[in-house]
A and B are shown apart, each in its own frame.
Chain A
Amino acid sequence: MTQPAFAARVDRALADPDLKRAIERTTGTARSKRAAAVAAWPDFAAARELGRDIKDHVTANLDHYLLTFERNATAAGAIVHWARTAQEACDIVVGICKAAGAASVTRAKSMLGEEIGLPHALADAGIERVETDLAEHIIQLAGDPPSHIVWPALHKTREQVAALFRAHHHDPGALATVAAMVASARRELRRRFMAADVGISGANFLIADTGAVCTVTNEGNAELTTTPPRVHIVTAGIEKLVPSTAHAMSLLRLLVRSATGAEVTQYTTFHCGPRRPGDADGPTAFHIVLVDNGRSRMLAEGLAEMLRCLRCGACLNHCVVFRQIGGHAYGGTYPGPMGAVLTPVLDGLAGTQDLPHACTLNGQCQEVCPVAIPLPTLLRGWRERSWREGLEPGVVRGSLFAWRFLVLRPALYRPATALALRVMRLFARRGWIARMPLAGGWTRHRDLPSPARQTFMAQLRQRRPSA
């Protein structure tokens, strides 16, 4: 019933014994730390409503805040670019790199960069790319895409990382401890930070009334990526706008607690324009690429609430499906519940329709979302569209049609269910059905309790003839 490509990715994930362990280590810690952070915050519910309202206000007035941001960023000395599509955004970034004569660029982790395919675009242009976030560094060495939006190397165990460093680092040392592994990565990356011509980062917030770009990291790599090079390029989705620094701080409190359970990140940096006269360091050119890539279409297509997303990853960490299959099985840039909503926007619904269906609609994602995105409702919206567009397989449509015929006709439904019970009971042995035609999806790994001898309605009629 599923698309072969999705089924194959799921099978691969489920067959990997290390993956489940790696996922549970990281997401388990994230879940308990987030729970503690929320429990220690009496005003969490109110803060969540404020966060939701800030994002909704910006979404409703996007044109105003975009132009305000452009005006203030330009006044601070930034060069603002507009990109409608992923391709346009990549062309702009590659164009800036080429104009700067860049041979090597450093990049601080940015999911938007992954979304627009920037790593490939840089490679195609012959520009060397150095990922500076520790986890991004790991997956660059492994040649993997990110499997989580906060911990891109979530799928790698410590042992696998040590093996990668041993194979790729110039001076890996013993790598006996995590600290030794981090030290090896520092030695490897330090010289690259200083040698880069261009630094590329994303943005957590675009602050309209100052024109500043805010990034949050725990490793300090964003600061080393954006300060030494001559040119700094920011790529950001237009939904990152907030009216003011105060609004950014309200959202930051929600973002950090939801992502890692910490109260604040190690580094919270505001980038406002290029180096000014008298500054000790900083880039001489500062570019901001504002990317739409489907976001304004989301407004028009009933997905406006998704533009609230802060990319905290809480919905991934709490998703029972993600916890089983990990990020790569989703096949898009963004995995988990938020990815199941976004990937059909970015890659088209045809071919990705499994994502909104491979979900039990249990609602835990919405419960932990710091900006109350109704993820199950949005996923159901994709299911409705998939149904309307005829993307559901024939066997699903056929069974639903037959079922529809009966459930809409109670007078026919009663004898039909009575007959179904008799047939199903033919397959039962001592109360259980271990195998039955058309029930393989259930019975391959579970037994099916035998249905009742008589339906409730039939029994009730015998007990209460007037009913």
Chain B
Amino acid sequence: MNEQRLALTRRAFLRESAFGLGTIALTSMGGSALARVARAGERPMPHLPPKVKRVIFLCMAGGPSQFESFDNKPELTRLEGQPMPDSFTKGQPIAQLQGEKLQCWGPQFPFKKWGESGQEISTLFPNIGGIADKICIVRSMHTDQINHDPAHTVMNTGTSISGRPSMGSWVVYGLGRESEDLPAFVVLTSKGGRNPQPIAQRQWSAGFLPSRYQGVQFFSQGDPVHYVRTPEDVSGDSQRRVVSTVRALDALRAQQVASGELETRIAQYEMAFRMQTSVPDLVDFSDEPQHVLDMYGTTGNDGTFAANCLLARRLAERGVRFIHLYHRGWDHHNDLAKFMTVCSGLTDQPSAALVRDLEQRGMLDETLIIWSGEFGRTPMVQTNKGGPGRDHHMRAFSLWLAGGGIRGGLTYGATDELGYNAVENPVHVHDLHATMLHQLGLDHERLTFRYRGRDFRLTDVAGEVLEDILV
């Protein structure tokens, strides 16, 4: 028995050293405890001291090309037109280039060094170049899926299998809501560029978490939120009286049958009623001075990416925890030079304005901004759909982060000389999620929910916090 014990102990010690030595003992709060607290309407406690209060995720749907944005590859230009070496592509999954010739294709726009940090960014993004010292570029992202729908699902839920909660839902489940009259997780969409990506509601779904954690879509046309507007024939006063009579009758019934659920329901009606006022206020830009509109490059709340960036700031000010902006136009299989110009033109200035605006208001430190697609694009050219473009690529792509606790001016990770594989400090989507949760004060290994007998996590069974990119 003693020898047995020694062997087992040694192994446990090694395990401990590798994974957990030095971590402070933290109060344990499993998934079910969190759920209980959330249900009771209180705010659950974070696991760690939080660095930021909220996340703004700028999702560049379709997969922007890293070679025309953040990953300069002169070697690709040198080999342009030559076959991509077999050693890279053999046995690798491939999307629309199935059966096509695989040829190198260099960056189509010049790169430039920006700011004191000298981060290299394509000249297509001069405004983001202007905030180079505030952002951390990660060039070594990789993911598991090569088609849009599943790749988005990985980026948002950590797996390509449907039915799992999206990251915004996890965050709200872990931290609760801050705003009393707006949803805690809001989704905004805009388009422009190549044919817009279809987007499934799954991308902001609460999955197996209760539906109150799901993202709420805001729209630029029609009602800003589904059903937030009183029916046309009903006056605001009448609506108020209906709601208060419903509350009074529900309260009487709650007494008759001793129902706590009905009491919760009454609170939801109050919030719904408040939303009927708070949402129109939120989406009304008339209180924004002209110079702010100019900074974002918008004339009003018209559903453009620029308007949505400003709306994101307004949501952030009002305590919304997770703001997810989709720009749907980045799938540049063909005419890449043209469409990249369109898409960068629509997103460069507003993205940078959002960072600057939050900074000016002293909110950047408490916000984490992430700018990313669901995957990247091939170093190979695609010519079977018209003018030259690039196909989907999952082995390497680039993104940037800014805000609380993020090391500005840093370029992290690298791809090989042809930009095919992430080779230096590769970062998986799980690592991004772990880092995001960490900044919010959540331990990705302890943010769990028991479903089908298993404690599920946003990061599945992987994920490492990227300490190197944190201050």
Q: Do chains A and B stick together as partners?
A: no
- Interface, chain A (partner B; CB < 8 A): none
- Interface, chain B (partner A; CB < 8 A): none
